[in-house]
């Protein structure tokens, strides 16, 4: 019988992040920490925006990236 390991519930679920953008699209992707510094907020706030689907995010494995252009657009709203 396989052993089950309980994983902690992450603030950002896999379903809320989109796949990486197409290679033909030149984008500047920021980490959660970089996006938070750019926006002048705490990293948990950026994670909350992504979880609430207010800010689009991309996931590659366990890494979450945010398009700088999308962040600027979100901040100007």
Q: What are the tens digits of pLDDT across the range 38-75?
A: 999 999 999 999 999 999 999 888 899 999 999 999 99
pLDDT class of 12 with cuts at 50, 70, 90: very low
Q: In what order do the strands lie in the sheet with 29-30?
A: 29-30, 63-67, 58-60
Q: State the architecture of 27-75 in CATH terms.
A: Orthogonal Bundle (1.10)
For 71, residues 6+ apart whose C-beta sits below 8 A from its C-beta are 30, 35, 38, 39, 55
- pLDDT tens across 17-37, in order? 555 555 556 578 999 999 999
φ, ψ at 61 (rounded to 5°): 70, -120
Euclidean distance between CA atoms 17 and 19, whole angstroms? 7
């Amino acid at each position: 019988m396989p052993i089950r390991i309980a994983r902690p519930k992450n603030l950002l679920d896999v379903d809320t992040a989109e796949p990486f953008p197409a290679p033909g699209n030149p984008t500047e992707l920021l980490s959660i920490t970089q996006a938070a510094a750019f926006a002048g907020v705490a990293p948990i706030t950026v994670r909350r925006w992504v979880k609430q689907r207010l800010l689009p995010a991309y996931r590659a494995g366990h890494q979450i990236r945010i398009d700088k252009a999308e962040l600027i657009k979100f901040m100007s709203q």
